[in-house]
Amino acid sequence: MSSMIQQERVKPLNPHAVSRGDYVLYWMQASQRAECNHALEFAVQKANEMAKPLVVYFGLTDGYPEANDRHYRFMLQGLREVGEALRQRGIKFVIRHESPEQGVVDLGSDACLVVADRGYMKVQRAWRRLAAERLRCAFIQVETDAVVPVEAASPKEEFTAATFRPKIRRKLPLFLVPLEEGQPRIDSTRLNFDSLDLNDVEGVMDRLAIERGVGGAGDFHGGTSEAGKRLDAFLSQKLDRYPEERNDPTADGLSNLSPYLHFGQISPLFIALKVLQTGSPGADAYLEELIVRRELSLNYVCYNPSYDSFEGLPDWTKKTLGAHDRDARRYKYTQEELEEARTHDRYWNAAQNEMRRTGKMHGYMRMYWGKKIIEWTASPREAFRTALYLNNRYELDGRDPNGFTGVAWCFGKHDRPWRERAILGKVRYMNDRGLLRKFDADKYARQWATGEDGDVS
């Protein structure tokens, strides 16, 4: 094994040994890229050691929780690129319209070894457990969507970023190193497998039984190459100003890479190494978000089985919100009214419209957005369900650890108690005056005054 694939990333998921088989199979599911992918490189190494061809498989299910046409189109755009990149490396890419855990068992019946990347969501973990039970050859997971593997960063759920930060920083010298890319010795592209034609994204979309009510995502186009362009632009034009502009939604100061990280179309390790190479004064602030904050969210969903519900919040937040459960609400909106941005608050409406139109709300506004949902719904539990529903339905980077943790933060997760007030209790409060002190909130409200296409500013 290459020294660049640390042992902490590698975990056997069943007790079986490598068996006789026709190929090594890499089940690509969470890490949808052919570059800087530890799971792929591990599979290449093993295939070369055994003098076997390597086959990469992706299972396209239309039953992924809360995913809709916006998410699937973005993902398929990226997978089309993956197929071409693998072909250029002499690797067969098989994508089938089926539940992944069933498809990998089917293809794995002729494999000597199955390698998988790591997924952090409940459904992703359940898929891997089922596959581990049914596969008769060795099944190995290689974690590649974290700079520091979750268990290596911390053995338990962390209370705040302050407790997590020193632990993960101590691990960075071991894991913040480049990954070497290997070349398969046997070309597998001529192997005969049934597979969807990724050159026809719309044709594949038409075959899927998915929700069609959300639509496209503005300027966001899926794929590793698009992620690379956004990264290059960020490093050359925005990183120096990132500490000052990251909380200003009118400044266009963010990398906008979270959708690509969500689908595994770009590696967080690759981004971090590129940022470090710049020597920019903004590097530390950005790496705090990319590594400490992002991987704190991985810590949350991996160690807290209730990450997707109100029950997963800290006891103090549940207690204080519960104590104010019956406080009078000056404004109260239904989920439909919130979804359609029909509130009295033009700043909140703008944030909701930005998310509906583009598939990504500015991070600072997402905090304000979540806080107001608590104030404007009948109970904290209803607020939590509503915020998750809206976030997961419209955000390209929803339905993942950052999305669940971001919503939970609005309810006090990874935060501390503040001065007690109505409705929110001791949970941190935000208001429109705070927005106006931070940036030109009226400009932002004008820019996103409608949920329809077209800038009305």
Instruction: For 126-165, write each residue's pLDDT tens digit.
Output: 999 999 999 999 999 999 999 999 999 999 999 999 999 9
Would you list the DSSP string of 104-147?
HHHHHTTEEEEEEE---SHHHHHHHHHHHHH-SSEEEEE--SSS
DSSP bridge partners of 59: 96
Spatial distance between the Cα atoms of 316 and 370, rounded to a whole number of angstroms: 18
Look at residue 454 and tell me whether its pLDDT is greater than 70. Answer: no
Is there a common fold for 1-144 and 310-447? no
Record the pTM. Answer: 0.96
CB neighbour burial string for 278-299, b if at least 16 within 10 angstroms, e if fewer: eebebbeebbeebbbbbbbbbb
| pLDDT tens per residue, range 167-191 | 999 999 999 999 999 999 999 999 9
> ∠ CA(208), CA(212), CA(215), 5° rounding?
115
Q: With CA atoms as reference, report the closest residue to 402 among 310, 274, 307, 317.
A: 307
Q: With CA atoms as reference, report the closest residue to 268 among 375, 175, 350.
A: 175
Locate 223 and state its tokens.
């794929």
| pLDDT tens per residue, range 307-336 | 999 999 999 999 999 999 999 999 999 999
Alpha carbon 58 to its chain's center: 18
User: Percentages helix, strand, coil for the chain, rounded to the nearest 5?
Assistant: 50, 10, 45
| Class for the domain spanning 1-144 | alpha beta
Q: What is the mean pLDDT of the chain?
A: 96
| pLDDT tens per residue, range 244-287 | 999 999 999 999 999 999 999 999 999 999 999 999 999 999 99
Spatial distance between the Cα atoms of 357 and 25, rounded to a whole number of angstroms: 39
Proportion of the chain above pLDDT 70, given as a percent: 98
Domain ranges of the chain: 1-144, 146-178+223-303, 310-447
**Fold designation for 146-178+223-303:** 1.25.40
Spatial distance between the Cα atoms of 231 and 269, rounded to a whole number of angstroms: 13
> Stretch 17-26: mean pLDDT, rounded?
97
Spatial distance between the Cα atoms of 16 and 54, rounded to a whole number of angstroms: 19
Look at residue 455 and tell me whether its pLDDT is greater than 80. Answer: no
CATH number of this structure's domain 310-447, picked from the four choices 1.10.579.10, 3.40.190.10, 1.20.1250.20, 1.20.1050.10: 1.10.579.10
Locate 440 and state its tokens.
């030109």
- pLDDT of 2 reads 44
Alpha carbon separation from 163 to 156, 314, 446 (Å, rounded): 11, 15, 40
**Which residue type occupies 379?**
S
Locate 382 and state its tokens.
């209803």
| pLDDT tens per residue, range 89-127 | 999 999 999 999 999 999 999 999 999 999 999 999 999
Would you list the DSSP string of 76-95?
HHHHHHHHHHHHHTT-EEEE
Locate 392 and state its tokens.
């997961």
- pLDDT of 330 reads 97
Alpha carbon 110 to its chain's center: 32
Look at residue 1 and tell me whether its pLDDT is greater than 80. Answer: no
The H or E element that residue 199 is part of is none
Q: Evaluate whether 375 touches 273 at the Cβ level (below 8 Å).
A: no
3-state secondary structure of 55: strand
Within 13 A of 15's CA, how many CA atoms are on the CB side?
Answer: 0
3-state secondary structure of 54: strand
User: What does residue 428 show for φ and ψ, rounded to 5 degrees?
Assistant: -50, 135
- pLDDT of 457 reads 30
Query: Which band of pLDDT confidence, cut at 50, 70 and 90, is reported for residue 4?
Result: confident
Q: With CA atoms as reference, report the closest residue to 370 among 344, 403, 346.
A: 403
Q: With CA atoms as reference, report the closest residue to 23 among 64, 55, 70.
A: 55
Q: Evaluate whether 69 touches 214 at the Cβ level (below 8 Å).
A: yes
3-state secondary structure of 421: strand
Q: Evaluate whether 376 touches 343 at the Cβ level (below 8 Å).
A: yes
Spatial distance between the Cα atoms of 387 and 393, rounded to a whole number of angstroms: 10
- pLDDT of 447 reads 96
- pLDDT of 216 reads 83
Place of tokens 């293809």: 107
Would you list the DSSP string of 396-429?
TT-SSHHHHHHHHHHTTTTS-----BTTTBTS--
Look at residue 215 and tell me whether its pLDDT is greater than 90. Answer: no
3-state secondary structure of 11: strand
3-state secondary structure of 25: strand
| pLDDT tens per residue, range 37-94 | 999 999 999 999 999 999 999 999 999 999 999 999 999 999 999 999 999 999 999 9
